[in-house]
Chain A
């Protein structure tokens, strides 16, 4: 194997570089410009170019695809869309999702057909917010579009989010619905599950 060597020339310094004064002058100019701009213009950072945000009084608006706290989306009848398939906990590299599947009750139209999560717990302390669970979900049941980051706490148990907690969080559009409606067994749009309705 031959190794090709590329010889790089050392950049030559001009006189202006050697005496430093022009560089110092331009630096001082930039500093003073920012100083006067930040001092005398409004602090509404969306209206002008002030970069400083007075966090936490003034939270920055996150971009729409920001991966925040998880939520579980609802069906039209406000039951969870989640079918407890465990795809998210399989994909999770931090192993922070714990799900126990269960069967619907006998009088439910989804009985014998579908399952739902009896418990759905995310350990947000373990979570690395990679978004793999959202990618893995075949039902668009888990999302990270709440636009919230984890509120700080000194109590570990505050970071263990159960099903009720995850279902109480709306998305950035303030609704609980998923953007991808499907016709699922039990929904009015589904043709039905028995032979009479099915044909």
Chain B
């Protein structure tokens, strides 16, 4: 692999790489605003200027006076080039630390802050803002401009999800390029020039495609803010756990940002994974964090309809065990869930095995609109994993919820154990004819509503788990927040049920359970490319 030298370090590069991309791949950061690894090169922020000493045509040789030795030494004319646009060449000698480069970086930084309102206290980007970081690293001087800054539109609603502040904008055009290149919907553009420059919408349009939050995600400053996250939390309080999006079968990798003080998840951010989502996520996926706090089932309940009453978790488990003991185990139906993790599905499949039950079904969401970019038409994060568990329990053609409804009308089923909550639009009133319907779920939904015994379980943010995406890629996610007191993952509850019924499931820990579907070791959480 050819290499060039940067700041005395050899950096390998591939054909077609720019200096910036090669350095990024090697884990070296050249300060930049407009460059993003997933977008085209704009080279308009001028923050990434570097000095290419030798190895480039046109690097004009000069004799430079060296004050230390008092002699003239050979050098090249200090013409600076944008590293994001300059292709890497074999044998280049690049420096991003010389005095010329430092002066250029400080000047660009001062220029970008010339009309900036410096309203960091009310800006949601504060704490993860590149203007703040680079001011400290590369400028660190007071503003010299004494006059009133130019005022531009603030608080402009670009659409249902994004608010724009032109005063904070540095015109890097990343958001425009996201719309053009990632989504193919050129809804944003730029108007005016110089200090009147601002981002505008196409006439008669709103920023309303499926990836609007990516414009906010790539914004290096606080110009674009998310209507959802706006004013909710300060980012320096948030911690991050590696997650996997539960929106669809693509399984985009996420950072789950949560506040450990309140045990609350505030947002998702895409986590770079070149094999799955690259740098991106869709809006619906970004909003799946709401499942962790909305429509949660936090208490165990017994009974149906108006007779439903909250009971202690242990009492509900005892009641479930008592009822199951009276049933014919081979007539206990289990319903796996394409929304639940592999751990929960395999635990339930193993329970069906020890029961000797042939009635195994798979509940799944009924799908949504997919696209060519990331969104899969299957809006279940773990259909592949649930089908694997299905094959373990029964095998053959997968039977779905409507099969369960027809089978239960046939009277062949005495009890049902269901996992998770799905938004399937099927009439489940047939299930209410069955006396024992146990639902293990984190969220409310059609299945828990039809159940006679509801046992609360952890949501995906409150436990470790594994999803298998549509391409068969096994991905694990880690716990972000702690569940409410006494709430356990479904696989633990199932194991308790089995033990109380006198059966033994062949696992005691998460590690042993995972051996049945063998996820690969978790890759260390990568920092997002934007940071």
| Chain A positions near chain B (C-beta within 8 angstroms) | 83-87, 90, 101-103, 111-115, 138-139, 185, 191-195, 197-199
Closest to A87 in B: B121
* Shortest distance from the beta carbon of B147 to any chain A beta carbon, whole Å: 11
> Which one, A87, A112, A139, A193, contacts B151 given CB within 8 A?
A193
The 3 closest A-B pairs by CB, nearest first: A112-B155, A85-B121, A198-B151
Distance in angstroms between the alpha carbons of A81 and B151 in the assembled complex: 21
Q: A193-B151, A199-B150 are in contact. List 6 more A-B contacts (CB 8 A).
A: A86-B237, A138-B121, A185-B154, A191-B151, A192-B151, A195-B152
Distance in angstroms between the alpha carbons of A83 and B150 in the assembled complex: 22
**A112 and B231: CB pair below 8 A?**
no
Closest to A103 in B: B231
* Residues in A whose Cβ lies below 8 Å from that of B237: 86, 90
Selected A-B contacts with CB under 8 Å, 25 pairs: A83-B121, A84-B122, A85-B121, A86-B234, A86-B237, A90-B236, A101-B232, A103-B230, A112-B154, A113-B155, A115-B122, A115-B231, A138-B121, A191-B148, A191-B151, A192-B151, A193-B151, A193-B153, A194-B153, A195-B152, A197-B151, A198-B150, A198-B152, A199-B150, A199-B151
Closest to A183 in B: B148
Distance in angstroms between the alpha carbons of A86 and B153 in the assembled complex: 25
* Residues in B whose Cβ lies below 8 Å from that of A197: 151
B:274-318 near A, CB below 8 Å: none
Distance in angstroms between the alpha carbons of A138 and B232 in the assembled complex: 19
* Shortest distance from the beta carbon of A47 to any chain B beta carbon, whole Å: 47
Interface membership of B56, Cβ < 8 A: no
* Residues in B whose Cβ lies below 8 Å from that of A198: 150-153
Interface membership of B196, Cβ < 8 A: yes
* Residues in B whose Cβ lies below 8 Å from that of A114: 122
**B121 and A112: CB pair below 8 A?**
no
**In this complex, which of B230, B232, B234, B237 has the most chain A Cβ atoms within 10 angstroms of its Cβ?**
B234
Distance in angstroms between the alpha carbons of A24 and B120 in the assembled complex: 66
* Residues in B whose Cβ lies below 8 Å from that of A139: 121
* Residues in A whose Cβ lies below 8 Å from that of B497: none
Interface membership of B362, Cβ < 8 A: no
Counting contact residues on chain B (CB < 8 A from A), the size range is: 20 to 34
* Residues in B whose Cβ lies below 8 Å from that of A90: 234, 236-237
Distance in angstroms between the alpha carbons of A194 and B285 in the assembled complex: 34
- CB contact under 8 A between A83 and B122, given known A194-B153, A198-B150, A199-B151: yes
**B154 and A113: CB pair below 8 A?**
yes
**In this complex, which of B120, B126, B157, B231 has the most chain A Cβ atoms within 10 angstroms of its Cβ?**
B231
Closest to B124 in A: A115
Distance in angstroms between the alpha carbons of A175 and B366 in the assembled complex: 63
Distance in angstroms between the alpha carbons of A139 and B119 in the assembled complex: 10
How many residue-residue contacts, CB under 8 A, span A and B? 54
Distance in angstroms between the alpha carbons of A101 and B121 in the assembled complex: 12
**A195 and B153: CB pair below 8 A?**
yes
Cβ contacts B206-250/A at 8 Å (1 or 0 each)? 000000000000000000000000111010110000000000000
B:78-131 near A, CB below 8 Å: 120-122, 126
Closest to B196 in A: A199
Closest to B126 in A: A85
* Shortest distance from the beta carbon of B482 to any chain A beta carbon, whole Å: 19
B:152-186 near A, CB below 8 Å: 152-157, 163
Distance in angstroms between the alpha carbons of A153 and B121 in the assembled complex: 35
Distance in angstroms between the alpha carbons of A84 and B122 in the assembled complex: 7
**A193 and B155: CB pair below 8 A?**
yes
Distance in angstroms between the alpha carbons of A120 and B157 in the assembled complex: 28
**B157 and A112: CB pair below 8 A?**
yes
* Shortest distance from the beta carbon of A194 to any chain B beta carbon, whole Å: 6
Distance in angstroms between the alpha carbons of A195 and B157 in the assembled complex: 15
* Shortest distance from the beta carbon of A122 to any chain B beta carbon, whole Å: 17
* Shortest distance from the beta carbon of A149 to any chain B beta carbon, whole Å: 29
Distance in angstroms between the alpha carbons of A114 and B156 in the assembled complex: 13
* Shortest distance from the beta carbon of A179 to any chain B beta carbon, whole Å: 19
**In this complex, which of B121, B148, B151, B231 has the most chain A Cβ atoms within 10 angstroms of its Cβ?**
B121
- CB contact under 8 A between A102 and B231, given known A85-B122, A198-B150: yes
Closest to B149 in A: A191
Distance in angstroms between the alpha carbons of A139 and B148 in the assembled complex: 19
* Residues in B whose Cβ lies below 8 Å from that of A138: 120-121
* Residues in B whose Cβ lies below 8 Å from that of A193: 151, 153-155
Distance in angstroms between the alpha carbons of A123 and B260 in the assembled complex: 21
Distance in angstroms between the alpha carbons of A138 and B120 in the assembled complex: 9
* Residues in A whose Cβ lies below 8 Å from that of B163: 112
Distance in angstroms between the alpha carbons of A139 and B121 in the assembled complex: 9
Distance in angstroms between the alpha carbons of A87 and B122 in the assembled complex: 10
Distance in angstroms between the alpha carbons of A85 and B124 in the assembled complex: 9
Distance in angstroms between the alpha carbons of A199 and B163 in the assembled complex: 22
* Shortest distance from the beta carbon of B309 to any chain A beta carbon, whole Å: 34
* Residues in A whose Cβ lies below 8 Å from that of B148: 191
* Residues in A whose Cβ lies below 8 Å from that of B150: 198-199
Distance in angstroms between the alpha carbons of A101 and B126 in the assembled complex: 15
Distance in angstroms between the alpha carbons of A87 and B150 in the assembled complex: 27
Distance in angstroms between the alpha carbons of A114 and B231 in the assembled complex: 9
Distance in angstroms between the alpha carbons of A96 and B180 in the assembled complex: 47
- CB contact under 8 A between A101 and B231, given known A85-B122, A115-B122, A199-B150: yes
* Residues in B whose Cβ lies below 8 Å from that of A191: 148, 151
* Shortest distance from the beta carbon of B262 to any chain A beta carbon, whole Å: 11
* Shortest distance from the beta carbon of A63 to any chain B beta carbon, whole Å: 30
- CB contact under 8 A between A84 and B231, given known A112-B163, A138-B120: yes
* Residues in B whose Cβ lies below 8 Å from that of A115: 122, 231
